[in-house]
Each structure stands twice: as C-alpha cells, then as structure tokens.
Chain A
Amino acid sequence: MAAQLTLQAPTALPPQELAPYLERLWGEDLQHSSGAATFTLVVYEPSWLQQHLIRTGRVKASLTGLLERELIQAAKTAVPELGLPLSTAVMDQRLAWELGQQPGDDPLEDLRGQFVDAAISAHMPRRLITLAPTLDSGRPLESLVAAYCPLPEERGGGPACGDVVVLRGGRGSMKEALPLVLPLVPADLPCWVWWNSSLDEAPDLLEALAPPPRRLVVDSSLGQPRRCIDLLVERIDAGQAVNDLNWLRLRTWRESLAMVFDPPARRNALEHVVQLDIDVEGDHPLKGLLLAAWLADRLGWHLVDSYRVDESPGAAPGTGGQMGGGIGAEFQRTDGTSVQFRLMPVPVGSPKLHPGALVGLRLICAPEGRPPLCVILCSESGGCMRLEAGGMASMELAEDVVPLPNESEEMEMARLLGGGHDTTNPLLATAAVLAARLLPD
C-alpha cells in the first residue's frame, strides 16, 4: 500500500470552518514552519471502479483512490463475469458501469486524499485538495483537514510542510464544494488540477475547477474519444497548460521509434515513408492517433483525408462488429508523395489498464535506389505477428519490442510535477490538433 501522507487522522470540520481552521493552523500551530513553496494539487478522485469493486464485495480493502494490485486483479476477473469482451481494459468506463448494476452493499472505509504515492509526496505539495464524490449521490458534503511533513528520508528533511484537504460527498455536493476550493488555492503558487476520471463526467465541474492559468492534467483514454480530443484542443487553444496522461504513456513508443532513426545512416529513410500502420487494443483510437499525429508533425506531412475503415483484421469471423472498425488516412509528404495510414483495433486476451493501448506500429520507408526499410515496433504483450505478415520479410527489417512502462498514474503524475513545466508540451499541442482532424466524425 502507498505511504500514508498524514500521520494523524484528518480532522473533520464543518465546511465553512475549513478556511479559518487552515489559517489558524499555519498562523499559530505551525508558526515555526515555512510551508513548502511548491504547488497546490487539486485532484478530482471519484474512483468509481474501486468503489464498486469494494461495494460489491469483490475486494476487501479500504478505498484509498489508488489502483492497487488486488483491485486490478479483481477488475480483470470481473470483465468476463460481467459478459464484457476480453479486450475490455480495466479503466474502461463500461466495466465500472456494469459493476454499478450489480447488487452489493459492503461497507466502505473511505481514505481518499490521505494516501498519496511517495513519488508525489516527494515533491511536497503545499496543499493537496481531493474532491471525493461518493456512490450515494445524496450524501452531504464533509470536509477533512490535516497537516503533514514528509519524513526526512523522502527529501533531505527541513521544516517544509503542507496540508491535506478532503471534500467528500454525493455528486450533488461537489458543486457545493467549489466555492470552498477556490479560496484554498494559494495565489502565489502554481496550481495543478488533476481530473482523475472520465472526461465525459461532470463537465461543469471540470470547467469550474480548472480555469487557466491552472495546469490541467487529464487522461484522454478515459471518455468518449471525440469529447476527449476536443477538450484537449480547446484547452490548448485557450493557452492553458494541459498535460495528458494518455500522451505521456506514449513516451516509450516515441522513444523507441526515435531510437531506430538515431544512427545517422538511417535518417534519410524518414524522408521516404510511404505507409504507417498502428494497431491498438479495443476501440479507443486516441492514443494511436496521437502517435500518428506526432509522427506526421515531426516529418512535416500534410493531412489530405481521413475516413472510417470497416475491416477489422483482428476480429474472428462473425465477430467483426465487436471491435468496431479502424481509421484510415492519407497524408502528403513534403515532396508530394502520398503516405497511407491505417489504425486498426485488435482484440487482445490480456489488455492493459487503459483503453486504446498500443499493440504495434509499422512504418514502411521506400528510399530511392535502396531496398525498402520496414520498422516494426510491438508491445511486450501484443507481439508483432500481424504486422510482420504481408511480405515484410523481403524488406530490411528493423524490429523492436517496446517495453511496458509499468508505471502507475501516480508515477506519471509525479513526473509531471517534477518537470514543473508551466506550458503545454509543444509536441502534444501540435499532435492533439492533428489527431482531432484524424478522428473522423
């Protein structure tokens, strides 16, 4: 289990007493502490999946908000039992929804906001505000507060401390929480808002919680793809610093592809790409589209057209509709040559946690006067066989297996906090715009 951030149980207070209490805490009780001059982290943490797994008795655990191993295992077990396709990712909203239809009323010890991954607490958030909606939509708003000091071994000791605020209640009460949150965000420190849930959920709350210049962190693999990509583009266009965990999880793929072309002898091949194929798990195409868009942007390709593709190569006969179709597109290189792109959903027996994880990538380059080069990257779990088919063996092959990062959301989040960037990554900014155009309506 992750480290508990607060050594003492948080104090429950009436919501209106929150701000005066914190003022008193820092003014009198902690007067010898300077407080960490770091940042505020506001987390919207509904953890619906975890709540349902515990409520239905599939897991006996406290609700910390973290997706721990036994929760993941229970979720995977639930997928076939609930009649969902085996390719359903643990974080797929359909799983939480199906679990929500199941009976059960096991008690739930709600510790959200009090357990923080050590990777995040090592950055010493000055204030950590967790909004924790409960399954009982009519539950009134509760507020809890505690001060914390990281243990010395976490980062060199020192008097810097922060505080933890938890606002918990039914969905309706989350709106009541908003006026409480705003005055709690110190104006002189950066503020990150982590929407740790589907982007289909509570758009009004997201809008109110994360106005610019707060730095927004979302996960575009969670939610309806069009809504996710449009929200990314809209926020980026508005000049907000946006980070997308789905994009960050592409890191190993971008790094692996770049590595193929690091040797100067291979560079020239990048100017002669004629085909790009990407396979993804399940029917959430955004991650694959972001990767294609990044590549197209880096190589200066111009998008000519994008369209739906009906064929579903991985589907067994008679189940073609289950995976849905793919996406095709045509790009034009800077020299006017056409580049064909296909993104296809493929079924997998053991999906990763997030919908739309990458299974494989194939890039075919046809330099003049030289044999074609075929680059195939595949995930550790997916294998390369589908992309190796079709006569690729006659080309110069550059194959590699992309390692699974095997990192939690919290690790990704910690990396973001550690990076400290106050603008959107320009690669994401351009890739998101192009990915939005690649996704057919």
Chain B
Amino acid sequence: MGAVLTNPLRVGLRQERVIPPQCLVIFGASGDLTHRKLIPALFELFRQRRLPSEFAVVGCARRPWTDDEFRSRMAEALADVIAEHRTAWEQFAAGLFYEPADLSDPATIVRLGERLDGIDRNRATRGNRTFYLSVSPAFYGSGTRALAAAGLLADSERSRVVIEKPFGTDYASAQELNRIVLSCAKESQIFRIDHYLGKETVQNILVLRFANTIFEPIWNRNYIANVQITAAETVGVEERAGYYETSGALRDMVQNHLTQILALTAMEPPGRFDAEAIRNEKAKVLQAARLANDHEPWTCCVRGQYTAGGSSSRPIAGYRQEPGVNPNSTTETYVATKLFVDNWRWQGVPFYLRTGKRLPKRLSEVVLTFRQAPVSLFDAAGGAPTPNQLILRIQPDEGADIRFEVKAPGSGMRSRPVDMAFSYDESFGEPSDEGYVRLLADAMLGDPTLFTRSDEVEAAWRLYTPLLELMEEAPWQLPVYSYEARTWGPAAADNMLAGDDLVWRRP
C-alpha cells in the first residue's frame, strides 16, 4: 500500500455487526496459525469495536501453559502491532485464557467444558461458543466427536465448529468426514473455512457480477471464449514440507481455493443474498463441472515440480532439495487443469486453472477472454484484433482491467489494445482486512455465506477424483514435469493450451 494517508472521513464509517457475547475456543493454540493469523485477526476485530465486552478466547493445546504464558506468547508474536496499541492489547488480553486439552483425551475435553462454564459466568459469554479446529486434519473427525461427547455441541443455536482446510484428502474421505461431523452437529453449526473466500477481491466477484447490469448479459458462452484462473506463488514449500509432501498443489490449492473462485465466477445469480441461496448456486455449478476429458483425464491436467533456479548470486533450491522433502519426491508443486461446466451458461467454454510454487510472480487472478469480433474491419497493430479481456486481479494490486481495441493515433485506421483499469489502491487507498478477520467475525456471527457447505466440498473433491485416482494408481500417466524455479511452469502446460490455439496469460 505504501504510505498513503488514511482518508479521515472513512474512519468509523462502516457500521459492522457486533459479534454477540462469545467464547472462541482455539484448538491448536500453540501452533503457527494461532499467533500468525487468528489472534491478530481477533485483535483487529477488538480494535474495530466489533467484539463485545462479553468476549473470551480460550487457547487449547497439549502444552501445559498457563493463562499468563499464553498471553505473553501471543504478545510476543504480535509485538509490532501491540507497540502501537498497548492499552487496547491490555484490555484484549484480559479476555485470553488457556486450558491444556487434547482432543484425543475425553477427560481433558470434559474439563474444558467445566472451564468454559466458569468463563460463561465470569465473562457473561452466555454459552455462545465457537470451537476453532486449528489442528492436524487427522483430528477433525475425532475432535468433533470429542466435543459432541462432552456435550459441547448440544446447543445448535449457541455452539459452532470451524474446520480448517483440507476437509478430507479425496472424495471418499470428505464424505466420511462430513458423515462424522454431521452426526455430531447440524450443518448450520459447521463452518468449513477457505481463507480465499475471506479476501475482499474474491467477494468482489459477486458484487461485480450481480450489482452491475453491464457484465451479466455477456457473462456466458455466447460471448466468453475461455476463462483462466491463476494462483501463482513465488515462495517454495517453506516450513510446510511435512504437510505438503502428502498434499501437493492439487489438494492444497486447486480443490479448494481455485475451485471456490471458479464457483463464484461461474455460478448463476442467487435469488437473494443469503448464505443458502449463494451456497446452493455454488454447489450447483460445481456439480455441473467436470474435467475436460473424463475418459482420458491425463489429457487435461499437467503436473510439475520446481527444480533449482534463480541466479548465481541468489540461487533457489529445487523442491527435492528443500528441508524435509523426500529427495525422490513426486509431489507436484504445479498443476494446470482444464475443466468444462456442463450447463446452459457455460457449455463448451473451457476453464483453465493453474497454480504453482516458485513461479515468477505472486498473483491470483481470473481472466475472462471474450470471443473475437465476427468481422475484422480494421488493420490491427498486432496482426489481428486482440480479444477483449476482463481481468479480475485478486492479489496483489487488487482491481480489475478491461482490455479492448481502440484506434491507434494517426491517419490510418489501425487498432490496438488498451486497458481500462480499476485499482482498489487508487480508488480506495486503504488496505482491506485480512481474510481471517472477516471469516472469524462471520463464524462468530453464525453467518455461513463465505464458508463451504458439505455438498460443495464433496462436489469439489468429486471433480478431481479421476486425477487423484490416476496419481494413485497410474502415476506414469500423469507425470510430474520439472520446471525451473521462477519460471511459469512446465512446457507441457503451455502445450495443453496450445492444443486449443491458446496461450496462458503472462501477467
């Protein structure tokens, strides 16, 4: 964002909903996510006056910390932020508690319940509880069972469970996990989080589409030739090798984040803006989606893995040389895939999804490329008129561009493409909230609009089942091509589009 002054007239203008009296219980409180994302998001909500005075956070993990130890560890992690808001932190930290608990040890969960009753009395949190499972995915099912067995999910109006990704590792495991959690709680109590949906620009897809009249009439197969959805990262696997080795890019990014963006881009307009109406439409479009070639799925997916790259002064290690990674690993760090959505709106329009680590730029975007003009009347600077494009930039430099042809200055009638750009920075000049701020608030408010429902999750897994089966049973049919770190992925991905006379956008 740079050093843009805050608009003083914006301060306090948003009147957000205040979260009702609440106790947020974080399992996995000693983990990375808690001090990196969750506590900062809660502190931000506190500073925005969105948390009521009747509020408490209870951190839970196996470590035998005390309340004070938990507070001081969180304070350490947020030292930079706290330095500017010391008084606010002291008030906020008074509501932080810690209870040693192990989701696989029922006795500790019962004890936690007693502690929560006490906090209800002392902090007047009225029995409203949100349990956040920031733990290993292996504990999602058993953890929910443990909470239910201790009676902590009995009140369906006042208790909720937030479950981090990945929700399952394939279609069957997602179904099984849904079966377990829905035997313990109602769907309305389960909040499956996908932090991409907390991003302002992802939500803006809905506003752009459904608050304007100029886009929706052309948002279909009659005008759109193809859609590219990209989520590129410059970083490597970092400290997540243990998880990533069992996951890979398809499970880590495509099945959830990219597929959610696909759903928002392709869904039909909901009848009204409420959770069920939106999730119904998302589920429907995911159920209509399929791999471009069901019978030969290897033809519509390319996997890659980065190798060493960079410059001699700043070399970048290859994936297999990263700490914690198997030197013979075949885990993909790059995936490109081609899908179709079989419905009236999108029949025959290819959707290309790609994601990768160690790509040249960090960016996420949706690019809708429109069909060519039927007749080319003018001499185009590029030989042929460039197709119109609508580019929705999700991160960074959030905004949108429309690319269209104009007359190039001069005596002739040559055309050339130009971009009409909207930038969040230039229009609003203020950073938006972290995704977790929005999502935590929504979960505690009981608003599931930006969380994925069981049928959405299952539909997303089912979509990629042929690929997952192939990776499991016939990996040679879906080879992992290598690509040099800081390049746009393996050549095979370019070839996949070349087969359709297309190229990936080089943003």
Q: How far does the alpha carbon of A160 sit from the alpha carbon of B446 in the complex, in Å?
A: 15
Q: Apart from A267-B5, A423-B49, what are 18 other A-B pairs with CB-CB below 8 Å? A: A37-B158, A158-B157, A251-B15, A254-B13, A258-B9, A258-B10, A261-B9, A262-B429, A264-B4, A268-B5, A270-B9, A415-B15, A420-B18, A420-B20, A422-B53, A425-B12, A426-B12, A426-B49
A180 part of interface (Cβ distance < 8 Å): no
A156 at the binding interface (Cβ < 8 Å): yes
Cα distance A37–B16 when bound, in Å?
Answer: 21
Can you list 6 A-B pairs with a CB-CB distance of less than 8 A? A261-B9, A263-B427, A270-B9, A298-B9, A420-B19, A422-B52
The number of chain B residues with a CB under 8 A from chain A is 28
Give Cα distance in the complex from A255 to B12, angstroms. 11
Report the nearest A residue to B5, measured CB to CB.
A267
Whether A317 is near chain B, meaning CB under 8 Å from some CB there, is no
Cβ contacts under 8 Å, B7 to chain A: 258, 261-262, 267, 270
**A265 to chain B: which residues have CB within 8 Å?**
426
A264 and B16 form a contact (CB under 8 A): no
> B2's closest neighbor in chain A, by CB?
A264
User: Chain B: which residue is nearest A256 at the CB level?
Assistant: B9
CA distance A347 to B484 in the complex (A): 73
Interface size (A, Cβ < 8 Å)? Answer: 32
Residue of A nearest to B53 (CB): A422
Return the chain A residue nearest B275 by Cβ: A156
Question: Is A257 located at the chain interface by the 8 A CB criterion?
Answer: yes
- The 5 nearest A-B residue pairs measured at CB: A258-B9, A420-B18, A264-B429, A264-B4, A298-B8
Which residue in A37, A264, A425, A426 is a CB contact (below 8 Å) of B126? A37
Q: How far is the CB of A332 from chain B (nearest CB, A)?
A: 17
A298 CB contacts on chain B under 8 angstroms: 8-9, 11
How far is B14's CA from A427's CA once the two chains are assembled, in angstroms? 11
**Set of chain A residues within 8 Å of B8, measured between Cβ atoms:** 270, 298-299
Secondary structure dominating the interface of B? loop
**A103–B156 Cα gap in the complex (Å)?**
57
Residues of A within 8 A of B10 (CB): 258, 262
Chain B contacts for A160, CB-based, 8 A: 157
Q: Which of A34, A270, A415, A419 contacts B18 (CB 8 A)?
A: A419
Q: Say yes or no for B299: interface residue by CB 8 A criterion.
A: no
Interface presence of A392 (CB below 8 A)? no
Asked if B210 is at the interface (CB within 8 A of a chain A CB), the reply is no
In the bound assembly, the distance between CA atoms of A34 and B158 in angstroms comes to 12
- How far is A110 from B426 in the complex, measured between Cα atoms in Å? 55
Q: Is A203 an interface residue (CB 8 A)?
A: no
Contacts of B426 in A (CB 8 A): 263-265
Q: Given A258-B7, A261-B9, do A267 and B429 touch, yes or no (CB 8 Å)?
A: yes
Chain A residues with CB below 8 A from B215, complex form = none
Verify B157–A420 contact, CB threshold 8 A.
Answer: no
A188 contact set on B, CB distance < 8 A: 126
Q: Given the known inter-chain contacts A160-B157, A263-B427, A421-B18, please indicate yes or no for A295 contacting B52, CB distance below 8 A.
A: no
Q: Is the CB of A418 within 8 A of B17?
A: yes
Mask: chain A, 383-422; 1 = CB below 8 Å from B; 0 = not = 0000000000000000000000000000000010011111
B53, B157, B430: most-surrounded residue (chain A CB, <10 A): B157
Please pick, from B15, B17, B157, the residue contacting A425 in the complex, using a CB distance under 8 A: B15
Contacts of A420 in B (CB 8 A): 17-20, 52
Q: Inside 8 A of B13's CB, which chain A residues have their CB?
A: 254-255, 258, 427
- Nearest chain A CB to B129 CB, angstrom units: 13
A298 to B11, CA, bound (A): 8
**Which A residues are in CB contact (< 8 Å) with B405?**
none
Q: Is the CB of A156 within 8 A of B5?
A: no
* Contact, CB under 8 Å: B4 / A267: yes
Distance to closest chain B CB from A37 (angstroms): 7
Are B427 and A262 in contact, CB atoms less than 8 angstroms apart? yes
Which residue of B has the minimal Cβ distance to A158?
B157
- Give A127-161 as 1s and 0s: 1 = Cβ < 8 Å from B's Cβ atoms: 00000000000000000000000000000101010
Tell me the nearest residue of chain B to A262, going by C-beta: B428
Within 8 Å of chain A (Cβ to Cβ): is B465?
Answer: no
> In the assembled complex, which residues on chain A have CB atoms less than 8 Å from the CB atom of B233?
none
Cα–Cα, bound, A328→B13 (Å): 26
Which residues does chain B contribute within 8 Å of A37, judged by CB atoms? 126, 157-158
A residues near B19, Cβ cutoff 8 Å? 420
Of chain B, the residue at the smallest CB distance from A297 is B8
Closest to B188 in A: A156
Q: Which of B402-445 contact A (CB under 8 A)?
A: 425-430
Is there contact, CB below 8 Å, between A254 and B427?
A: no
Q: What is the CB-to-nearest-CB distance from B190 to chain A, in angstroms, rounded to a whole number?
A: 14
| Complexed CA–CA distance, A425 and B13 (Å) | 10
Which residues of the partner chain B approach A267 to less than 8 Å between Cβ atoms? 4-5, 7, 429
Alpha-carbon distance between A299 and B7 when the two chains are bound, in angstroms: 10
Please give the distance in Å from A421's CB to the nearest CB on chain B: 5
With both chains docked as a complex, state the minimum distance between the C-beta of B419 and any C-beta of chain A, in angstroms. 18
In chain B, positions 1-50 with a C-beta closer than 8 Å to chain A are 4-5, 7-13, 15-20, 49
Q: How far is the CA of A263 from the CA of B424 in the complex (A)?
A: 9
Inter-chain contacts of B20 with A (CB < 8 A): 420
Whole-angstrom distance from the CB of B49 to the nearest CB of chain A?
7
Would you give the 0/1 interface string for B358-376, flagging 1 where the beta carbon is closer than 8 Å to chain A?
A: 0000000000000000000
Expressed in whole angstroms, the Cα–Cα distance for A160 and B426 within the complex equals 47
Complex contacts, B18 vs chain A, CB 8 Å: 419-422
Inter-chain CA distance A421–B158, complex, in Å, is: 19
* Cα-based distance from A158 to B158 in the complex (angstroms): 12
Residues of B within 8 A of A255 (CB): 13
Cβ contacts under 8 Å, A421 to chain B: 15, 18, 49
Least Cβ–Cβ distance between A414 and chain B, in angstroms = 12
CA distance A257 to B158 in the complex (A): 40
Residue of A whose beta carbon sits closest to that of B6: A267
Q: How far is the CA of A263 from the CA of B236 in the complex (A)?
A: 36
The distance in angstroms between the C-alpha atoms of A422 and B430, with both chains bound, is 27
List the B side residues contacting A419 at CB < 8 Å: 15-18
Query: Roughly how many angstroms separate A298 CA and B12 CA in the complex, as a whole number?
Result: 10
Q: Which of B154-202 contact A (CB under 8 A)?
A: 157-158, 188
Instruction: Say how far A199's CB is from chain B's closest CB, in angstroms.
Output: 23
Q: Which A residues are in CB contact (< 8 Å) with B15?
A: 251, 415, 419, 421, 425
Question: For residue A258, which residues in chain B have a CB less than 8 angstroms away from its CB?
Answer: 7, 9-10, 13
Closest B residue to A188 using CB positions: B126
A415 to B15, CA, bound (A): 9
B52 cross-chain contacts in A, Cβ below 8 A:
420, 422
* Distance in Å: Cβ of A256 to nearest Cβ of chain B: 10
Give the residues in chain A near B425, CB-CB below 8 Å.
264
Residue of A nearest to B10 (CB): A258
By a CB distance below 8 angstroms, the chain B residues around A268 are: 5
Closest to A265 in B: B426
Residues of B within 8 A of A422 (CB): 18, 52-53
Q: Which of A237-259 contact B (CB under 8 A)?
A: 251, 254-255, 257-258
CA distance A295 to B425 in the complex (A): 23
Nearest-CB distance from B452 to chain A (Å)?
Answer: 18
CA distance A268 to B126 in the complex (A): 47
CA of A160 to CA of B155, assembled, Å:
12
Assess the B9–A427 pair: CB atoms within 8 A: no
Residue of chain A at shortest CB distance from B7? A261
Task: Report which residue of A37, A251, A419 has the largest number of chain B beta carbons within 10 angstroms of its beta carbon.
Answer: A37
Among A160, A188, A262, A299, the most chain B Cβ lie within 10 Å of the Cβ of A262
